[in-house]
Chain A
Amino acid sequence: MQKEYSTIGKNVPFVDAREKVTGRAKYLDDLSFPGMLYGKILRSPYPHARIVNVDPGRALSLPGVKAVITAADCPATRFGLEIPDVSILAGDKVRYVGDEVAAVSAVSEEIAEEALSLIKVEYAPLPSVDDLEAALAPGAPLVHDDKPGNIGKAYKIERGDVDADFAGCDYVFEEEFATSRVLPCYLEPFGVIASWENDGWLTIWTGIQAAFHARFELARALNMQPSDISVKVPYIGGGFGGKIWIRNFHPIAALLAKKTGRPVKIVLSREEEFLASRPRVAARIKVKLGLMRDGTLVCKEMKITADNGAYSWAAPKILLNMAMRTDCLYRFRSTRTEAVLVYTNKTPTSGFRGYGNAQSHFALESMVDLCARKLGLDPVEVRLKNAVRRGDTTLHGWKIRSCGLGECIEKVSAAIQLNRLPKEKQGGKIRRGVGVACVTHVSGNRAGNNFDGSCALVRFQEDGKLLVYSGESDMGQGARTVFAQIAAEILGIPLESVKVMPLDTDISPFGYGTYSSRVTTVGGKAVLLAAQQVREQLLTLAGKILNEDPSGLDVKDGQIFVRLDPGRHIPVAEVCRAGIRTREAAALTAYVSYDPPTEGADGNFYGDYSSAYNYGAHAVEVEVDTETGQVRVLRVAAAHDVGYPINPNGVRGQIYGGVTQGVGWALYENLVYKGGVLQNPSLSSYILLTIKDMPEVEPFIVKTNDPVGPYGAKGVGEPALIPTPPAIANALEDALGVRFYDLPITPEKVFLALYARPEEAEK
């Protein structure tokens, strides 16, 4: 029944690849405007201090400086997401090293930078809370005076009778895991250009993942109406979740531009990216797992303590994901999670590929493996035995319409066994092992009664070329290509005839943006539906011209033809010309607002809130030098149920990238703080892996043809990272017989674990 597609499922090169590799694609910092000024931000050197006085003093008299702003120049409103606790510039006190205190605009970056050093800020340092323990200690200093106990948010979610189920289990195990702060480290530093029009409208250029949310949040920060702001999105050099939400520098640039009457550009330096962009929410996760002798997973309890940092941004939602999603990976009978979000005097945390789900997968997928081994069972068999299947409704009400979890596990566990290296070399000095871990994630995420769809505008031009407009960003993952493929397929025109337009909130239809691995699934579906409507218009008009019933027509390779008499045909371009340039006045345009048939979670977070649920499994082989503790990941087999791959190479690209960041999180990357001060704010000391550290990656695409997504497609962006860290920890136990509970698993940690009394290693 599967039809032969012309472009869907094909490895077409990304439509913008040539523009990018030839350096012609314009990113934010490539843009400039007449009279544009450069903004720089003065940041707190203290993790916690009262601001006694800010004196712009001599900064204003430095030639070339056009404006200096402090908290006194900002609207007093607090903004942010669920918990509005952010001020544009700090007024009463600073809460982390990097907190924004004042800002300058000048005719050059150098002068702006010099001006910062002339601003005199008097601080009265306060005792700070640098980690979860300190923040939760009785009588701890408060990060926000109105947040007693430094608690930002707390959840308790319970399904079924957990206590009774634990009592009935053959085995109950409990362990605590911890994940670390890591940074998305996208290639292009985040930035903005702000410019005011004469009529009081504000235009913002910024490479952001969620343009319409940005407009809304910016309006809130500046006390404006969203429609008075236009957000225009140039090419984005990676985001990984770190560019979903606005930062303080967005309204800061707007205020500097207003004060000077000139456009203002702010681009973060790499050091500022380290100090003040948003790391992954680090968490301590206690997992209690109840099992039967045969490996049946019965019930689970988690206690999560998560590090919010100084301001809350997306962390409350991330905490919720952390608390819930892993409950839907296996067929648990009951689960209970208590989760708290804790303020600390560190950089605010927020979204990063996995959005909370990755943290709890590290805990659960480590735990399942560990328990299986304790029971003498094969961890792979235990996973297969308990995996959710199509047709299941999970404890949280997810209706599983397509599910390739079992197939993913089988594929990678078989692949990793092929061509394995011996378990030992050099008399056991080198040891090797394999491990598997799984993932379940979402393709969209409806909160309550909110919209969770996407809108698309599809429009033919008079020469048969097609314009596609969407509100979803392409941050490099390939949305433009996927949208173009879908439109080209439906309309039977060559891919080259489709242009996916840049995102501009004044022109593009409403969209939530690129997160929740939702863009192909919901954004693609909106494009598909709009293209179908345009196709009907096109064939109706062609029928009129050819004097044929439109239902007997088809379109392929840019030609509309009579299905039963293919010799009779007319080019799409000619029909478009007739429709647009003659008295036909045909629209050949469709605007679709698509909302997936999901329920949205209720007040107790129960509900089928995603269009599709995606699955995956990774298997890794590791090699450990037991003398030095060095770990090398040799191979990663990574299978992902993506429903149907619109562009298989795009899917593989996501898998390679996800694995890379997963290996980095597990073994290399870590933001190291001392007394609340980041110790490695640079790419030389924050260890991203290089090509010389990369394992061999073998991607597998599992097709399950989701009934809702476009052509059966589901998301893969975030899931591609999630199983790698637990799979590595599991492989390490296989190699060494030692379990690692905390990320990152550094060589020194491995060394210390192998030598109970390290001084012995020296003799």
Chain B
Amino acid sequence: MSVQHYVFPETIAECLQEMNRFHGQGRLIAGGTDLMIWLRKKKVAPVALIDVTRIAELNQLEIKDGNLLIGAAVTHAQVAAHAGMRALLHVLAEACNSVGSPQIRNIATVVGNVVSAQPAGDAAVALVALNARARIVSAEGSRVEPVEELYAGVGRSKIDSTRELVTLVEVLLPGPGSGSAFLRIAPRNALALPVVNVAAVVTVADGKISAARLAAGPMGEKPFRPRRAEEFLVGTDVREQTAWEEAGALAAREANPRDSLLRGSSLYRKHLLQVLTRRALQSAVARALERQE
């Protein structure tokens, strides 16, 4: 293995110093569930690993000013178990609970799921549906970008983990009348990448859908947003049961998943996208209506 140094910065400033010290040869590590495999397969060969899990600020998981803040060291298990999650963000709790196995969820971070840039990372797909934003810090300063905009290709993030740090992702909590759901189909019920996953977030006002965001994977280089289905949904009467079917069909028509020998043909995945979109919308709308009452 190439790694010669393993360091634990305790502040963001120290972390930036460490990245600077290794001039692009140091790489951030949090849970390491992807990175350790990349190291073994020699896909990356950093000289130093910079462990961010002891930076206090990155361990925050809280609701502040109507936003959920998820620090870079926060695990899937922590998010799934957070008290506010079941009431407000079903989609994120369900997505975090779908990843890997209990052991993996106890160590893999949600921000890592975003930065590893897999097009069907469960938590990342849910975050895209929630229109989450990432706070990014580097020697040049800090900025905020939508999670959806961080993808540069399959498994390639715009975040350069040798010089940039995502400190947290933030999610604006959906207001009253909103509901969400996450569904996936996988070859087995644990330790499996999804054949298709779908996240749906809707807001209902006066018996009609007032806002809808959908995300799904793996349908391309990044979580897929079926825009036409989203547009169609706005203004739909929630009693119109065929609408969810129609939205699913629109999503399937817009999607272009590839054929995979192991994970299913394009045709089959489009079909699953339709079914899961419909089911996720049914569940999200039912939850939205519950929250209205």
Contacting pair A672 B261 (CB below 8 A): yes
Kindly list chain A residues whose C-beta atoms are within 8 Å of the C-beta of B253.
762
A688, B275: Cα distance in complex, Å: 26
When the two chains form their complex, are residues B274 and A762 in contact, meaning their CB atoms are under 8 A apart?
A: yes
* A177 vs chain B, min Cβ distance (A): 22
| CA–CA, A692 and B190, complex, Å | 7
Determine if A758 is an interface residue (Cβ-Cβ < 8 Å): yes
A687 CB within 8 Å of chain B = yes
Whether B249 is near chain A, meaning CB under 8 Å from some CB there, is yes
Interface assignment of A685: CB less than 8 Å from any CB of chain B: yes
Contact partners of B193 in chain A: CB under 8 A: 684
Question: A32 in the interface, Cβ–Cβ < 8 Å?
Answer: no
* A687 close to B274 (CB less than 8 A): no
Give bound CA distance, A758 to B272, whole Å: 12
Whether, in the assembled complex, A197 has its beta carbon less than 8 Å from a beta carbon of chain B, the answer is no
How many angstroms from the CA of A680 to the CA of B275 in the assembled complex?
A: 27
Which residues 235-274 in B have Cβ within 8 Å of A in the complex? Answer: 249, 252-253, 261-262, 264-265, 267-268, 270-272, 274
Report Cα–Cα, A692/B265, bound state, in Å. 25
Report chain A residues within 8 Å CB of B274.
Answer: 762
Assess whether B189 is interfacial by the CB under 8 Å rule. Answer: yes
A627–B183 Cα distance when bound, in Å, is 14
Contact of B249 with A679 in the complex, beta carbons under 8 Å:
no
Within 8 Å of chain A (Cβ to Cβ): is B43? Answer: no
* Residue from the list A679, A690, A752, A758 in contact with B191, Cβ < 8 A: A690
Q: CA separation between A432 and B148, bound complex, in Å? A: 41
| Contact yes or no, B192 A627, CB < 8 A | no
> Do A628 and B272 touch (CB < 8 A)?
yes
User: Known contacts being A628-B272, A748-B268, is A680 close to B189, with CB within 8 Å?
Assistant: no
In the complex the two chains form, is B275's CB within 8 Å of A627's CB? yes
Kindly state the separation between the CA atoms of A758 and B101 in the bound complex, as whole angstroms: 33
Selected A-B contacts with CB under 8 Å, 15 pairs = A628-B185, A629-B268, A672-B262, A679-B261, A679-B262, A684-B191, A684-B192, A689-B188, A692-B188, A693-B189, A693-B190, A752-B268, A758-B267, A758-B268, A761-B271
B216 to chain A, nearest CB (A): 15
Q: State whether A748 touches B264 (Cβ < 8 A).
A: yes
Whether A751 is near chain B, meaning CB under 8 Å from some CB there, is yes
Most chain B beta-carbon neighbours within 10 Å: one of A628, A629, A679: A628
Bound Cα distance from A628 to B278, whole angstroms: 12
Q: Of B192, B265, B275, which contacts A628 at CB under 8 A?
A: B275
Interface residues of B (CB under 8 A from A): 101, 185, 187-193, 249, 252-253, 261-262, 264-265, 267-268, 270-272, 274-275
> Smallest distance from the beta carbon of A118 to chain B beta carbons, Å?
15
Cβ–Cβ contact B185 & A630, under 8 A? yes
- CB <8 Å contact, A692 and B262: no
Enumerate the 9 nearest inter-chain pairs by beta-carbon distance, A residue then B residue, closest first.
A692-B189, A687-B187, A690-B190, A748-B268, A627-B275, A692-B190, A693-B188, A761-B271, A693-B189
Instruction: Decide yes or no whether A674 CB sits under 8 A from chain B.
Output: yes
A693-B190 Cα distance, complex, nearest whole Å: 8
B187 contacts A762, C-beta separation under 8 Å: no
A674-708 interface bits toward B, Cβ cutoff 8 Å, 1 = contact, 0 = none: 10000110001101111111000000000000000
CB distance from B192 to the nearest CB of A (A): 7
Counting chain A residues whose Cβ lies within 8 A of the other chain, the interface size class is 20 to 34
Residue of A nearest to B185 (CB): A628
The answer to whether B252 touches A762 (Cβ under 8 A) is: yes
**Residue of chain A at shortest CB distance from B186:** A687
Complex CA gap A691/B185 in Å reads: 17
In the docked arrangement, what's the CA distance between A755 and B267, Å? 12
Q: Are A747 and B271 in contact (CB under 8 A)?
A: no
Taking a contact as CB atoms under 8 Å apart, the answer to whether A762 and B270 are in contact is yes
Q: A629-B268, A687-B187, A758-B271 are in contact. List 12 more A-B contacts (CB 8 A).
A: A630-B185, A668-B188, A672-B262, A674-B261, A679-B262, A684-B191, A688-B188, A690-B101, A690-B191, A748-B265, A748-B268, A758-B267
Q: Cβ of A583 < 8 Å from any Cβ of B? A: no
Instruction: Report the Cα distance A688→B101, complex, angstroms.
Output: 14
With both beta carbons as reference points, the residue of chain B lying nearest to A752 in the complex is identified as B268
| A30 interfacial contact with B, CB 8 Å | no
Cβ proximity bits A639-682 to B, threshold 8 Å, 1 near / 0 not? 00000000000000000000000000000100010100001100
Which residues on the B side are within 8 Å of A762 (C-beta)? Answer: 249, 252-253, 270-271, 274
The reply to whether the CB of A759 lies closer than 8 angstroms to some CB of chain B is yes
CA distance A758 to B270 in the complex (A): 11
Which partner residue on chain A sits nearest B276 by CB separation?
A628
A628 partner residues in chain B, CB cutoff 8 A:
185, 272, 275
CA–CA, A687 and B190, complex, Å: 10
The closest CB in chain A to the CB of B274 belongs to: A762
**Chain B residues with CB below 8 A from A684, complex form:** 191-193
Q: Is A763 an interface residue (CB 8 A)?
A: yes
| Distance in angstroms between the alpha carbons of A761 and B267 in the assembled complex | 10
Q: How far is the CA of A414 from the CA of B85 in the complex (A)?
A: 46
Residues of A within 8 A of B261 (CB): 672, 674, 679
Within 8 A of B (CB), among A741-763: 747-748, 751-752, 758-759, 761-763
The CA-CA distance from A223 to B76 in the complex, in Å, is 58
Bound-complex Cα distance A693 to B101 (A): 13
CB-CB nearest in chain A for B279: A627
Chain B's closest residue to A630 (CB) is B185
Tell me the bound Cα distance from A30 to B223 in angstroms.
45
Cβ of A751: which chain B residues have Cβ within 8 Å of it?
A: 268, 271
Question: In the docked arrangement, what's the CA distance between A436 and B208, Å?
Answer: 50
Contact of A687 among B185, B188, B249 (CB under 8 A): B188
**With A and B bound together, what is the CA distance between A613 and B187 in angstroms?**
37
Chain A hits for B267, CB < 8 A: 758-759
Query: Which B residue sits closest to A627, measured CB to CB?
Result: B275
Residues of B within 8 A of A752 (CB): 268
Complex Cα distance, B253 from A29, in Å, reads 53
Q: Provide the residues of chain B in CB contact with A763, threshold 8 Å.
A: 249
Tell me whether A690 and B271 are in contact (CB under 8 A).
Answer: no
Return chain A residues, CB-CB under 8 Å to B272. 628
Whole-angstrom CA separation of A185 from B66 in the bound complex = 50
Q: In the complex, A679→B259 CA distance in Å?
A: 14
A688 and B191 CA atoms in complex are apart in Å by 10
Which residue of chain A has the shortest Cβ distance to B192 in the bound complex? A687
* Chain B residues within an 8 Å CB radius of A761: 271
Report the minimal beta-carbon distance from B98 to chain A, rounded to whole angstroms: 12
How many Å lie between the Cα of A693 and that of B186 in the bound state? 11
Q: How far is the CA of A747 from the CA of B262 in the complex (A)?
A: 12
**Closest-CB distance, A673 to chain B (whole angstroms):** 9
> Which residues of B sit under 8 angstroms from A685, Cβ to Cβ?
262
Expressed in whole angstroms, the minimum distance between the Cβ of B247 and any Cβ of chain A is 13
A:710-763 near B, CB below 8 Å: 747-748, 751-752, 758-759, 761-763
Closest to B193 in A: A684
- Nearest A residue to B1, CB-CB: A110
B189 proximity list for chain A (CB < 8 A): 690, 692-693
A679, A761, A762 interface centre (most CB from chain B within 10 Å)? A762
| Whole-angstrom CA separation of A629 from B268 in the bound complex | 10
In the complex, what's the smallest C-beta–C-beta distance from B2 to chain A, in angstroms? 12
A684 CA to B104 CA in the complex, in Å? Answer: 13
Docked CA distance A115–B101 (Å): 36
How far is A355 from B52 in the complex, measured between Cα atoms in Å? 52
- Cα–Cα distance between A691 and B101 once the two chains are bound (Å): 11
Docked Cα-Cα span, A113 to B192, in Å, equals 29
Which partner residue on chain A sits nearest B248 by CB separation? A762
* Interface-central residue, B188, B193, B253, by most chain A CB under 10 Å: B188
Q: How far is the CA of A629 from the CA of B265 in the complex (A)?
A: 13
Residue of B nearest to A429 (CB): B275
B189's closest neighbor in chain A, by CB?
Answer: A692
Q: What residues on B are CB-neighbors of A693 within 8 Å?
A: 188-190
B268 partner residues in chain A, CB cutoff 8 A: 629, 748, 751-752, 758
B124 to chain A, nearest CB (A): 18
Nearest Cβ on chain B to A366's Cβ, whole angstroms: 23
* Across-interface contacts of B252 in A (CB, < 8 A): 762
Shortest Cβ distance from B160 into chain A, in angstroms?
27
B101 nearest CB across to chain A (Å) = 8
Q: Which residue of chain A has its CB nearest to the CB of B278?
A: A627
Report A392-433 CB contacts with B as 1/0, cut-off 8 Å: 000000000000000000000000000000000000000000
